Every structure is written in C-alpha cells, then in structure tokens.
Amino acid sequence: MITALNLLIGLTMGLNLLALGSSRVPSLIMAVSVQGMALGVMPFLVEPHLEWMVALVAVGTIAMKGFVIPALLRRAMRTANVDREVEPAIGFVPSLLLGAGGTIAAVALAHALPLLPEHSGSLLVPGAGASVLTGFVLLIGRSKAISQVCGYLILENGIYLFGLLLIRATPMLVEAGILLDITVGIFVIGIIVDRIQRAFDSLDTRKLTVLRE
C-alpha cells in the first residue's frame, strides 16, 4: 500500500515541476488536472477499510479536481480568447530551481518534524510541503490570472495531501465541507476572472494597478 501511495506522491511532485516548467497555459491546466486525479485515488490507498463516505469524497475529488475545475479553466481560457503563453514574472529556469530547492527543503523539514510510526515511511509530508511551495511560486511568479488560479489549486492540493494524514481522525462531514468550499471557491474565482477579462480586456494581472498607494 505505502509503495503505491509513495509512487502517486512522487508523480504529484513530478507534476509540480512540470507545472513550473510549462510555458503554455493548456499544459499547466493538464498538469493540475492529472495531479487532481492522482490525489483523488489516494484515499483508497490510505484507508484499507473503505467506508462509503470516504469513497464519496474520493470520487467527488476526482470529479472536481480532475474534470470539472480543469474544464472550467479551459472554458474561461477559450471565451477570454487569451493567447496561450504563460508570461512568467519569474523565469522558467529560476522557477524550476525554486521548485527543486523547495522539494529538497520539504524533505528535510519532514525529517525534522516528529511523525507517527505508520507515517514515517510515506512521502505525504514532503509531498505536501513541496506542493504548497510550488503553489506559492506560481501565485507570485505568473502574471496571467488563469496561471495564478492553477498555482492556487496546486497549493490546495498540497494541503489535501497533508489532510490525508488525518483521514481517520476527521469526521467525513468536515472533509466534505472543505471540498465543497474549495469547489465553490474555484467557481467564484472563475466568475471574477471572466469579469476581469470583460472590464480590462485582458487577463494580465500586471494591468491591475489602478489601486495602490
């Protein structure tokens, strides 16, 4: 079980680097979507005795993170008619270096924090840390609104990974509520992206500079 889980987390960390290195928005969205599906499978591996609520949340995650949200992003990209270059504020090579450094730091940090014996062999904590850092690099280092949303999604995927440590302890109602909140959040962000496109005729957040001191 733990090897299969670690393999999937390794895939997630690889997808982080792919997201940092992609120069085109569709491949960025693809990375986020595959990552979402990988995350959705994980509860089945963590929790051997399958309860129906766990299964429901897992299936909901695959559907939302793997299909619905990426489809929304693709639609936003098409209707907004943005050109597909990512336009980095932090270049691709520096982003990749930051991402790789972040991954190493996350592994080191996970060694410093005390873990339960059953978690000591898993990559959940380093994977979570690496994804959160990748999310931050994308949020700060990309100027298109859609790329920033992808960064936000990867950040949340990292938190989801960490949440798997607690899957036995937290009531499923809480997990379901969190998933619902995040989904609604992405819908709302999608609507605002659409409005920004109409108001500014662009999704380049570098043009959002009217409000400042």
The residues facing 85 across adjacent strands are 24
49 belongs to the binding site for other proteins (CB under 8 A) = no
Q: Does 115 bind other proteins (CB under 8 A)?
A: yes
**Residue closer to other proteins, measured from CB, 30 or 109:** 109
Q: CA-CA distance, 18 to 185, in Å (whole number)? A: 25
Q: 93 or 168: whose CB is closer to other proteins? A: 168
Question: In sequence order, which ranges of the chain are alpha helices (DSSP H)?
Answer: 2-21, 25-46, 52-61, 69-80, 92-112, 124-141, 145-163, 172-200
Q: Nearer to other proteins by C-beta: 93 or 212?
A: 212
In the three-class reduction of DSSP (H, G, I as helix; E, B as strand; rest coil), residue 59 is classed as helix
In angstroms, how far apart are the furthest CA atoms of the chain? 56
The distance of closest approach from Cβ of residue 153 to other proteins in the complex, given in angstroms and rounded to an integer, is 10
Nearest to 175 by CA among 66, 6, 43: 43
We find the least distance from the C-beta atom of residue 31 to other proteins, in angstroms, to be 19
Residues 6+ apart with CB under 8 A from 74: 26, 29
| 144 three-class SS | strand
Q: For residue 200, state whether it binds other proteins (rule: CB under 8 A).
A: yes
Q: How many Cβ atoms are within 10 Å of 99's Cβ, its own excluded?
A: 23
Which residue, 93 or 114, is less far from other proteins as judged by CB?
114
Stretch that binds other proteins, among 47-55, 86-94, 97-105, 162-170 (CB under 8 A): 162-170
Candidates 27-35, 72-80, 84-92, 199-207; binding stretch for other proteins (CB under 8 A): 199-207
Nearest to 104 by CA among 77, 134, 76, 84: 134
Provide, rounded to whole angstroms, the least separation between the CB of residue 87 and other proteins.
Answer: 17
143 binds other proteins (CB under 8 A): no
Q: Contact, 104 vs 80, CB < 8 A? A: no
Task: Indicate the DSSP class of residue 90.
Answer: S
Is 178 among the residues that bind other proteins (CB under 8 A)? yes
In the list 21, 97, 139, 202, the residue contacting other proteins (rule: CB under 8 A) is: 139
Residue 56 in contact with other proteins, rule: CB under 8 A: no
Q: Which residues bind other proteins (CB under 8 A)?
A: 112-116, 128, 132, 136, 139, 145, 148, 152, 155-156, 158-159, 162-163, 165-166, 168-171, 174, 177-178, 181-182, 184-185, 188-189, 192, 195-196, 199-200, 205, 208, 210-211, 213
